[in-house]
Chains A and B, each alone.
Chain A
């Protein structure tokens, strides 16, 4: 229950307690280069800005401290900088991280930058400075039609292949998300066809499936996010879900990591990523790969929401490495040190030019290793990388594009 007295008084930041003082201000989050462990710089935003401290993690932490200690006030100018962050979590991935499983530096264990940025954004929303105008438009629509794409809720399943009829209840539920149904219908269509071809018939809970709430959470609209999350949890529970399959990396992070926090206890179902299911079906010999990749090279882009946020790195790689004739090459920045595509944290909608500049850097990473394709598993990353990559002659594929359907 929101205490209205507390609104505007940094209630979200204050809930985080002493971790707000966890940053010692060493500044490794500025530009750390530690090539022996694949670390080449940190903040994807910094190099496209004037570069003052507030544009990377240490400055933001000092600002948070200044706010908490009463020396600084929230403002629109501050909000404009705080929202120029993809919340990719690369600062967290370099902050007192030893890059060796045998060594656990203390601060790296508890300092969660993304959580602090999201709390600061929520306080900016409380104070009327956030989110950005475009976010507000999107989220107003989301309240009404349950998606951030200015589309009608009833159209969420217009992608459904003709003749396919999926149940609305079941132990295995496919959570569609918003981006694929409204913006990449061919991907969700292929995904469902693939599952059906392997004898898996998931349920869809439409019209009860709403936006997962990721956009609202990342931009500080916490109350809307909570409404959406609680609605979806109830709908999934009512549908008898025991396992919820998610394709979109943003939805996966939200269901897997944020929903239990919002729900306040363990979810009544398990959240799994589509690549886990596809690996399972591959092992059972129920899926086949396309055969037109012979002598081609591919790399994999780790979506931040899946990789750094959920420590989920290997299942997509396991699939790619099994494709006959396709040579897999890692980009120099991968896994915990992967460069963000630039689209996350509301940057794509509020600062599209910045998002494209960051994508250009990531595509350069791919060009450097001389690949023919970039594969990823996040529709958001796919859209943003595609803007740049396809001009460079590098198609961006979704993982399901590797399969014969």
Chain B
């Protein structure tokens, strides 16, 4: 009997036959994520644990037989982070662990199992008058809290509340060591703390070790997320603005200085994407008005009517400039910010660029840069696209520097972009080559990515972003937690404890 077969039996003994599978069609179904470039890689076994103890058991079995593991949340990883990177192994589907454990209203947090989706959690919280602030990534209807934390993701709400990981104050993690040790970080690490209430004060920020780790340092099973009172007043505005990135930088800086308390979202949709939406009927009112100019959305929120009106006044004063037109107030009149806010369209705002042609979707290149560098990033990125145009067109790849630019607090922005590629087997190798080239280019101009998965974590290493001493430190930390390098091997090109 092979090691994999023995492992299968030992997993079945504890999880039960229903929640362990090695059927070929199940393995196929877990063989890829959301990209048109990576090859399908089948795991040997897929498991669906229901408890932290079961996750710990899986880790022990994997270590016993030296089988790689990949944790998986909602599975919508855009860069190959939640399917095997090396052939075989165990995919740990965590979506059965989807309960709200407790809500601690007095200290403003909620404890959840990491397989719960943003959609489920937001419904739970809104009904009780709370929100997580940033309400999850673009796939938030089905993406999990664990996935959001592992990818350090952003979403609507991030202009005010930052990335999701800044809203996490502690996690329960199964370490990938041979004993499958379970630890809790933040204040919950103390046996004397009755309920978690702060991330800091128990030594280094060990919670941070598991934020944005893309599932390489441990398997998060529970998370403590901050909650905020659900603002009574929320509104969205949509403006067409001049074709001038300096204008966008100035207006964003100004709004954040004057009204950081009330501005929940600021985004820019560049003119190329506005044209795409208009021409392909994605946004019908924009098509009707033949919209071709850049568009900015602004979301405001307040608990009090006077503050709400003040925020609205500040926004309108800031946009009362030549070349700016406000669309709306209704969605029918082009105010898409209303759809984003009132119909939870924020979970689909980035979907407009996907699949304009059947079978084409994004080799995602989302990354952050300082806001004042945004104009330069657009200029150099567009130049890069022009240089590569011949290769892109032969590969049916179209590059969009940004589908949207999302503004973050403290003068940074996220360039939400990618390259549309055709998801056909014969195209995937070329798509991957061009994708990685683009990512290395971004790393080298100082772009900082956040969901890293397989492709971006590897591109960072290939671009030599880390000095040798940092790489050694990184691997030493990894080795301490995962001595057999079994958790997500291949990310950051880390394959084993020995190799350099």
Name A's B-contacting residues (CB within 8 A): 17-19, 21-22, 24-37, 39-40, 50-54, 58-60, 62-63, 66, 69, 71-73, 75, 77-78, 81, 94, 96, 98-107, 110-111
Contacts and interface: CB of A to CB of B under 8 A. Distances in A.
B348 interface: yes
Contact of A62 (B31, B358, B359): B31
A39 B42 CA distance: 32
B280 interface: yes
Contacts of A72: 24-25, 28
B25 A63 contact: yes
A96 B123 contact: no
A51 B95 contact: yes
Given A24-B354, A99-B343, A59 B139 contact: no
A106 B352 contact: yes
A227 B73 CA distance: 46
A76 to B, nearest CB: 11
22 contacts: A24-B423, A26-B76, A27-B74, A28-B142, A31-B142, A34-B347, A37-B344, A39-B141, A50-B21, A52-B26, A52-B93, A59-B29, A69-B425, A71-B28, A72-B24, A72-B28, A77-B23, A102-B339, A103-B339, A104-B284, A107-B355, A110-B358
Interface in B432-485: none
A50 B48 contact: yes
Given A18-B359, A21-B358, A63-B29, A102 B117 contact: no
B30 interface: yes
B284 A27 contact: no
10 nearest A-B residue pairs (beta carbon): A21-B359, A33-B119, A59-B29, A53-B29, A32-B141, A107-B355, A66-B28, A18-B358, A50-B18, A27-B142
Given A36-B343, A58-B75, 13 more contacts: A18-B359, A24-B354, A24-B423, A26-B354, A32-B141, A32-B142, A34-B344, A34-B347, A96-B355, A100-B343, A102-B284, A102-B285, A105-B351
A325 to B, nearest CB: 32
User: In the complex, which range does the number of interface residues on chain B fall in?
Assistant: 35 or more
A20 to B, nearest CB: 8
A71 B41 CA distance: 11
A98 B40 contact: no
Contacts of B245: none
B348 A98 contact: yes
B492 interface: no
A282 to B, nearest CB: 32
B354 A106 contact: yes
A102 B141 contact: no
B182 interface: no
Contact of A104 (B24, B96, B281): B281
B64 interface: no
A183 to B, nearest CB: 34
B356 interface: yes
Contacts of B285: 102
Nearest to A64: B28
Contacts of B357: 18
Contacts of A105: 282, 348, 351-352, 354
B283 interface: yes
A187 B42 CA distance: 52
Given A31-B119, A33-B117, A54-B29, A103 B283 contact: yes
B222 interface: no
Contacts of A100: 331, 339, 343, 345
Nearest to B359: A21
Contacts of A104: 281-282, 284
B31 to A, nearest CB: 7
B410 interface: no
Interface in B133-188: 139, 141-143
A26 B77 CA distance: 8
Contact of B119 (A32, A66, A73): A32
Nearest to A53: B29
A234 B228 CA distance: 65
Contacts of A102: 283-285, 331-332, 339
A186 B29 CA distance: 46
A37 to B, nearest CB: 5
A96 B348 contact: yes
Contacts of A24: 34, 354-355, 361, 423
Contacts of A58: 29, 75
B424 interface: yes
A62 B28 contact: yes
B345 A98 contact: yes
A69 B426 CA distance: 10
A39 B348 CA distance: 14
Given A105-B348, A105-B351, A106-B352, A54 B96 contact: no
Contacts of A107: 351, 354-355
B30 to A, nearest CB: 6
Interface in B209-246: none
Contacts of B354: 24, 26, 96, 105-107
B46 interface: yes
A99 B424 CA distance: 30
B4 interface: no
B119 A25 contact: no
Given A33-B120, A54-B26, A63-B29, A25 B358 contact: no
A201 B19 CA distance: 57
Contacts of A19: 358
A52 B21 contact: yes
Nearest to B47: A52
Interface string B306-341: 000000000000000000000000011000100100
Contacts of A94: 141
A26 B339 contact: no
Contacts of B355: 22, 24, 96, 106-107, 111
Contacts of A28: 139, 141-142
A36 B25 contact: no
A37 B40 contact: no
B56 interface: no
B25 A78 contact: yes
Contacts of B280: 106
A113 B266 CA distance: 35
B267 interface: no
Contacts of B126: 35
A326 B183 CA distance: 58
A333 to B, nearest CB: 13
B57 interface: no
